[in-house]
A = this chain, B = another copy of it.
Amino acid sequence: MTWLENSWYVAAWDSEVDRAPFARTICGVPVVMYRKLDGNVVAMRDACPHRLLPLSMGIKEDDSLRCRYHGLRVGPDGAAEEMPLKTAAVKKAVCVETFAVAEKHRFIWLWVGDKAKADPALIPDLWPCSAEGWVFDGGYSPIACDYRLLIDNLMDLTHETYVHNGSIGQPELMEAEIETEVDGDHVRVSRWMPGVDAPPFWRGALKKPGPVDRWQICHFLLPSVVMIDVGVAPVGAGATIEDHDQGVRGFVIDFMTPESETTTHYFWGMARNFAADDPGFTAGFRKQQNVVFNEDIVVLEAQQRSIAANPDLKLRAYQIDEGGVRVRRIIDRARERQMEPA
């Protein structure tokens, strides 16, 4: 098991789940999700307690789900409401496992682990996805690789040059120094580029001439979030690495949810504080992100296959991998903690 127990993982975009049953395997467990009439999301094991037919093949009836095989009906609390033969009395013990879920920052979060410990306050703080004056949009891609390979990829600001040389790669990025800092379970990898010429994308967003201070700051949060703070501010406007709302700013948002040990649900998007009322920008940027992430997917799936084909070789880490190394250490430590007796 490569993931963490007792953690919130993103199970879906809010818009993916509606009243019809929606199936997705989260951290190795088949889950069915749907919305009740009041809009709240229900998540349960995707297997009828009777003969294990996926409940996602079933029939929605009000807030309940009826199995398509023998008609056992479970309510949103997972308890049987009708046994297969309607005339039989409902047995209290018959129920399907339900999962704690929460909806926040445009995502549906599912608690993996002991339900009693599920606390919405522990949901990672993806504030730019919900902040006033910000717009958030994105997409979903399944990837056939260990979710940690994707984190390695995102915590490393140098692969753009080669993986993305057809899209966003810029040789000048290589010249700026990268700083890696760890604070508890938070890793920050940053590049501060003072007084540079803004690239066309940021020049268009800023709508002002003149040199800019530019930044790229990757944040990792447990269990599996990477947020990359990017933007520019006019030189002299007072932007610093700690405080830089003087210009235009965006967050590349990434959540990696393990499906299995070698497959990942990748939820990605962009939150921004500019062009907020321009839906054409939103759609165009989503399309561009998709192109860029598809370049990563080709590399990540080839890397996963190569790891399997070269069992005698190990991944190595150099200076540029420091962000990923620190993240893996934090994940490993958290996994060790969860294995300790309580």
Contact = CB atoms under 8 A, between A and B. Distances in A.
Interface in A38-96: 45-47, 49-54, 57, 59, 66-71, 83-88, 91, 94
Interface of A: 25, 30, 45-47, 49-54, 57, 59, 66-71, 83-88, 91, 94, 152, 156, 158-159, 161-163, 174, 299, 302-303, 306-307, 309-310, 313, 315-316, 318-321
The copy count of this chain in the complex is 3
Contacts of A162: 59, 66-71
B174 A86 contact: yes
Contacts of A310: 30, 45, 47, 52
Contacts of A70: 156, 158-159, 162, 320
B159 A50 contact: no
A71 to B, nearest CB: 5
Contacts of A71: 158, 161-162
A25 to B, nearest CB: 7
Contacts of A161: 71
Contacts of A87: 174
Given A30-B309, A306-B53, A309-B25, A320 B69 contact: no
Nearest to A57: B302
A94 B45 contact: no
B313 A47 contact: yes
Nearest to A46: B306
B51 A303 contact: yes
A53 B83 contact: no
A163 B69 contact: yes
7 contacts: A25-B309, A46-B306, A53-B303, A57-B302, A69-B162, A85-B318, A91-B318
A9 B162 CA distance: 34
Contacts of A156: 70
Contacts of A68: 162-163, 299
